[in-house]
A and B are shown apart, each in its own frame.
Chain A
C-alpha cells in the first residue's frame, strides 16, 4: 500500500511567503492535498466581530448591560434581524432544552456576564429556566445537557500548550470522559467531537469571547497576564470553524505586534483547518468568511 508523502519543513519553506496564516496552517493544508491558497468565489459564511470600549470589570468582562448589547448587536447582524429576541427565536424554540456550554478556566473564563446574556435571550425565546443549564466540566452528568436539544457554545480564545489555541471547536472536549483521547497529533481531530451524539447537530450559536485573549503562554498553567490584552470583543457565528479561524487571525496579529516577528504558535493549531478540510465542520478559509465588524475599530488587528 502506498503511504502518502510526508509534509516536511521544506514544504513550509516553499509557501511561507503566502501570508501571515501560512506559518500556522501550512502543515494541515498540505496534508489534505489541498492548496493553502484561498479558494475563490465560493459561498461565504458570516462571522460577526463586535467590540465595545467600555472598561472591563475585575472579572475581565465589560458591564453586564454592555455585554448584553454586544451580544444582541452581533446576533442581529449575524441573522439580519432588527430585533434581538426575534433573532434568538430563529435559533432556539420554546420547547428546546438548552445547554450553554461555557468554559471555567481559572484565568480566563467565559465570564458570568456572557453566560447570563445568552441565558436571558434563550429565556426570551420562550425556553423556561428549568430547561436551561450552564456548565463546563460537568456536562456529562448534567441532566439538562443529557436531554439537551440545543446547545450554545461560548468560551474565550487563548493560546494552548498542546492544541495551539483553545477555542470553540475544542470547547466540546468535556463531552467525552477521557479528553486525552483527543490529544493525538496535537489535537488534530478535535472536530470529531462535534459528531458525538450529545452534540451533533445541536449547536445553534457560537460565541468566542475576546475580552482579554491570551496570545502566548508559559509554564505548566500556560498563562501569564503579561500575554493577555484588552481586546474587548466577541466573535459570533453559526460556524465554529469560521469563528475560530477569525479569532486565530487576531491572535496571530497580536503576536506579530508584540514579538515583532511572525512567530508561529508553539503548537500549530492545525485542528482548525482540519475541521474544515478533513472533517467538513465549517469554513476556515478567510476568503470564504464574510466578516462583519461592529463597534470600535482601534486596535482591531483584522
Chain B
C-alpha cells in the first residue's frame, strides 16, 4: 500500500530558486483548492478540475523590467500533473521537465506530480532567457519522475498526433477541448479518467475519446446515455453519419467507453474502435511511451 501524499508548502517552495539573474523574489503566496480563486479568479476551476492540492506563487521583480511569475502546483498525482499540462498544448516544445511548451512569455511543464507555469509579464529576449533558466532550475530541483495515465497506452499509434493528447476528468473540460453536448451525457465526474486524442492531419482530423469508469456497469450506463443523446437514430448500432458527412461511433468495452469522432468512413470508424479495444485487451502492440 502506498503512502498518502501530503502536500507541503515548504517543500514546494524549496524547488523554486530565490533569485534569477538580476531579479529578486517577493514573498511567496500560497493557495489551496478553496483559496485559489483569490489568486486567479475563475481560472482556478481548471486546476480544481484536476484535483489540485496546493499552489506556491513566487513573483520575481527587478525595477524597470517586466515581472516574472512562477506558479508551482502540487497536483497530488503525476496523472493530474500531466493532465493539467495537456489543458493547453499550444506553443513550442521547450524540452523542460517531462513535457513542456513555450509561447508568448509563458513556459509550462510537468514533472512528477507537479505542474509549473513560469511567466514573464512581457516577453523580451532577457525575460525569455530567464524564464527558461528558471524552468530548468526548478526541473532540476524536483527529484522524481511520474508516469503518464494508463489510458494513454490504449491509443493506437498509427496516425496519432502525440502533441494533441489530453487527459481530464469532467464534462466541462471535455467541452473546453471538444464540445460534445451541453449536458453531461457521458456521465463524467471527478472519478472518471478520460483521454481525448487527435488523429490525422489538419485537413483530415478525427478524434478518439476514451473514458474509464469505476466499473463495467457505470461504463455500460454511460455508453447508452451517450448513444441515446448523440445518435438517437442509430443508438442500437452505435455508429452514425453526422451532419458534417463524417462518422461517429461508440463502443463499450469492460469499464471503458470508447468513441471516435469525425472519421472519414464507416469502415475506418469501426477499425479505429477495433484498434483501441485490441490494445485494451492486450491483443496489439501498445503505444510506446515517449
Contacts and interface: CB of A to CB of B under 8 A. Distances in A.
B229 interface: yes
A179 interface: yes
Nearest to B118: A219
A28 to B, nearest CB: 8
A13 B243 contact: yes
22 contacts: A5-B229, A6-B185, A6-B229, A7-B181, A8-B230, A9-B179, A9-B181, A9-B242, A10-B230, A30-B182, A162-B42, A180-B42, A186-B172, A186-B175, A187-B42, A218-B106, A221-B43, A225-B104, A225-B122, A226-B104, A267-B176, A268-B179
Chain B contact surface mostly: mixed
Contact of A8 (B47, B122, B180): B180
A9 B175 CA distance: 10
B174 to A, nearest CB: 11
Interface in A186-232: 186-187, 218-222, 224-227
B90 A218 contact: yes
Closest 9 CB pairs of A and B: A162-B42, A161-B43, A224-B104, A13-B243, A6-B183, A7-B182, A226-B104, A8-B181, A219-B106
Interface residues of B, number: 39
Contacts of B43: 160-162, 220-222
A162 B41 CA distance: 9
Interface string A1-21: 000011111101110000000
Nearest to A3: B183
Contacts of B117: 219-220
Nearest to B246: A13
B104 A6 contact: no
B40 A222 contact: yes
B185 A27 contact: no
Interface residues of A, number: 38
Contacts of B69: 221
Contact of B46 (A162, A179, A224): A162
Contacts of B46: 161-162
B11 to A, nearest CB: 20
Contacts of A93: none
Nearest to B34: A180
Given A9-B178, A227-B104, 7 more contacts: A6-B183, A6-B185, A161-B45, A218-B90, A220-B47, A221-B119, A267-B176
Interface string A73-93: 000000000000000000000
A261 to B, nearest CB: 10
Interface string B167-207: 00000100110111111010000000000000000000000
A22 B175 CA distance: 16
A266 interface: yes
Interface string B232-260: 00000000001110000000000000000
A280 interface: no
Given A179-B37, A221-B69, A267-B176, A6 B182 contact: yes
